[in-house]
């Protein structure tokens, strides 16, 4: 893609992502059930990945051509302005993306080192943990879930990279049996609802679209929705919500500002929000309208995928779609699929001709 096409993609994606984020937040707020909230966010991140793929790999719809009324001189000035702006925007975007990707890799390396120092629970402790956990949740993706001992400051958490594992503080392993059952159900539910994969996709989307402020608000709400699902699972089947609330509040008190280990532990403010939700009411039921929220979000994303800002002054009015990007066109040509990877000729929209007429 040339500079003008990059400018169109970056600006349009910023508008599309902002619009779909506003829609996702609105739909999620209207869905009281935690599971529906999570489905909204799963669809949201899938939609953003789809919008990114559409912008980089597919031709873009061109509904209007507002630049046709400009004089040749004004058209050339607009082309030069957009080319300069595209270079600046692309440089800033790639710089931010590179910094966040580097930070992501550093965090991953630090986390792996941290986890390597968390020993397996002793044999007797393993037996106690497996007896306390729901038997249906002890295997994930054909693998047996490991139980490891984590520092007290980290609190309980789960991790999945080749081997699913639950990390528990020693005080929790040796402590109250009811509290242990609640925490085990919570962490194992994270694994079985594929929350680690959802976190990975969320981090990827935030890295790519870092320049869109609402993306970070959406990330915090999505993280809370995942915790709501597991909190409700932890107090399901007649388990005492009061006992589980005490567990949440105890870990909220243990955590001091900056004490969360490598950002894998929830903040104390998040723990308090979860405790307030459990204290206010039991698990909410999904209404008929709320259940349609994920489908509505995907429909909105599909419509937005055809809404690209007509910023390119050199877009040919003879075609309703832009050319295919060169990389996807080249890949299709390998399979003898012929696609148009060039603009249909329009004499007035040749930069050389415009520059000669000045």
pLDDT digits (tens, 9 = 90+) for 261-302: 444 556 667 777 887 787 776 556 656 666 788 888 999 999
Total Cβ atoms within 10 A of residue 263 = 10
Total Cβ atoms within 10 A of residue 235 = 20
> If residue 111 lies in a helix (H) or strand (E), which one and from where to where?
helix 72-116
Tokens of 31: 């869905």
Q: Which pLDDT band holds residue 347 (cuts at 50, 70, 90)?
A: very low
The beta strands (E) that lie in 6-162 are given as 139-140, 143-144, 146-150, 157-161
Residue tagged 């008190």 (tokens): 253
What is the per-residue pLDDT across 4-32, written as a single tens digit (0 to 9) for each? 888 999 999 999 999 999 999 999 988 88
**Structural domain span for residue 61:** 3-357
Check residue 49 and give its pLDDT.
96
Total Cβ atoms within 10 A of residue 207 = 17
- How far apart CA 30 and CA 287 sit, in angstroms, is 10
**Upper half-sphere CA count for residue 36 (Cβ side, 13 Å):** 24
Q: CB–CB of 281/232 below 8 Å?
A: no
pTM for the whole thing? 0.85
Check residue 276 and give its pLDDT.
79
What is the per-residue pLDDT across 79-130, written as a single tens digit (0 to 9) for each? 889 899 999 999 999 999 999 999 999 999 999 899 989 999 999 999 999 9
Average pLDDT over residues 216-232: 92
pLDDT mean across residues, the chain: 84
CA triple 294-20-195, angle to 5 deg: 50
> If residue 167 lies in a helix (H) or strand (E), which one and from where to where?
strand 163-169
Q: Which pLDDT band holds residue 68 (cuts at 50, 70, 90)?
A: confident
Report the number of distinct structural domains present in the chain. 1
């Amino acid at each position: 893609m040339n500079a003008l096409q990059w400018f169109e993609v970056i600006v349009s994606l910023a508008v599309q992502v902002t619009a779909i984020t506003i829609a996702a937040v609105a739909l999620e707020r209207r869905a009281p059930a935690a599971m529906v909230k999570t489905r909204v966010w799963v669809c949201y991140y899938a939609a953003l990945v789809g919008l990114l793929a559409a912008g980089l790999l597919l031709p873009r719809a061109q509904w209007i051509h507002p630049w046709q009324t400009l004089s040749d001189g004004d058209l050339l000035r607009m082309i030069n302005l957009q080319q300069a702006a595209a270079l600046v925007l692309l440089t800033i975007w790639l710089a931010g993306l590179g910094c966040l990707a580097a930070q992501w890799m550093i965090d991953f390396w630090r986390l792996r080192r941290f986890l390597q120092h968390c020993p397996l629970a002793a044999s007797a402790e393993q037996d106690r943990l497996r007896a306390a956990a729901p038997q249906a949740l002890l295997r994930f993706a054909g693998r047996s879930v490991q139980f490891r001992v984590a520092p007290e400051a980290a609190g309980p958490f789960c991790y999945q990279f080749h081997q699913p594992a639950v990390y528990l503080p020693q005080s929790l392993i040796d402590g109250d049996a009811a509290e242990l059952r609640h925490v085990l159900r919570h962490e194992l539910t994270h694994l079985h609802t594929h929350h680690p994969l959802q976190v990975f996709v969320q981090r990827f989307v935030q890295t790519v679209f870092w320049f869109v402020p609402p993306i970070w608000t959406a990330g915090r709400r999505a993280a809370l929705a995942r915790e709501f699902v597991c909190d409700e699972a932890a107090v399901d089947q007649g388990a005492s919500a009061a006992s589980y609330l005490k567990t949440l509040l105890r870990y909220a008190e243990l955590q001091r500002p900056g004490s969360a280990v490598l950002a894998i532990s929830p903040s104390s403010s998040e723990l308090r929000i979860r405790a307030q939700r459990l204290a206010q009411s039991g698990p909410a039921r999904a209404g008929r309208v709320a259940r349609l929220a994920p489908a509505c979000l995907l429909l909105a994303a599909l419509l937005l995928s055809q809404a690209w800002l007509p910023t390119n002054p050199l877009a040919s009015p003879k075609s309703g779609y832009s050319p295919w990007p060169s990389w996807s066109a080249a890949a299709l040509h390998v399979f003898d699929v012929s696609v148009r990877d060039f603009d249909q000729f329009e004499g007035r929209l040749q930069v050389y001709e415009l520059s000669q007429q000045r």
